[in-house]
Amino acid sequence: MASHHHLLFLLLLPISLILLSAGRRAACEEYRVGGEDGWINGNNYLRWSQQFNFSVGDVLVFSYVKGQHNVFDVTEAAFRSCNAELGVNKRYESGDDRVELRRAATYFFICNTPGHCLGGMKFSVSVQPAASGNPPAAEPAPEGNGAPRWRGLGGFVIVMIMMMLG
């Protein structure tokens, strides 16, 4: 029995250490759009987006009830008029959409549920080239906005190991 535990420990320890360090080193930030509220009708997403500086590799997470909203990555013309017919680059509608900002460009997002874009479910982000050399100026995310999930997983594995050994 004891030898089984030791074998498991030797297998799982490196894995958990890798997961832990991956969480710490995460260069790219994850932003939950709208903070705790998520992607809902009536929020001011212009104000939300202006709190941050986004750079290539960052990820926007749109969290909402599937079917009530969606996320359209649109052209500037479509954004300004809240009319998706003027140009859609990409559609997301899972309710938990992870949008990686891959290019140093301006992205335009709207909700295409009727009335929602005009009601404020729209914002644009100007994505800067990935920072090289100069570290990010500040932790951009308030509580819950940018926590890497891997770190929690690494901690979980370690707790599991300790329970098995104890």
- Give the interface with Cu ion as residue ranges (CB under 5 A): 69, 111, 113, 116, 121
Other residues' Cβ atoms within 10 Å of the Cβ of residue 33: 25
Smallest separation (angstroms) from ligand NAG to the CB of 33:
16
Nearer to ligand NAG, 58 or 97 (CB): 58
What's the chain's length in residues?
166
**Which 26-55 residues touch ligand NAG, going by CB under 6 A?**
51-53
CB 43 within 8 A of CB 37: yes
The answer to whether residue 150 forms part of the interface with ligand NAG (CB under 6 A) is no
Three-class secondary structure of residue 106 per DSSP: strand
- Residue 113-142 contact track with ligand NAG, rule CB under 6 A, x = bound: ------------------------xx-x--
**b/e burial code for range 92-117 (CB count within 10 A of at least 16 → b):** beebebebebeeeeebbbbbbbeebb
Partner whose binding site includes residue 78, from Cu ion, ligand NAG, none (CB under 5 to 8 Å by kind): none
Nearer to Cu ion, 93 or 147 (CB): 93
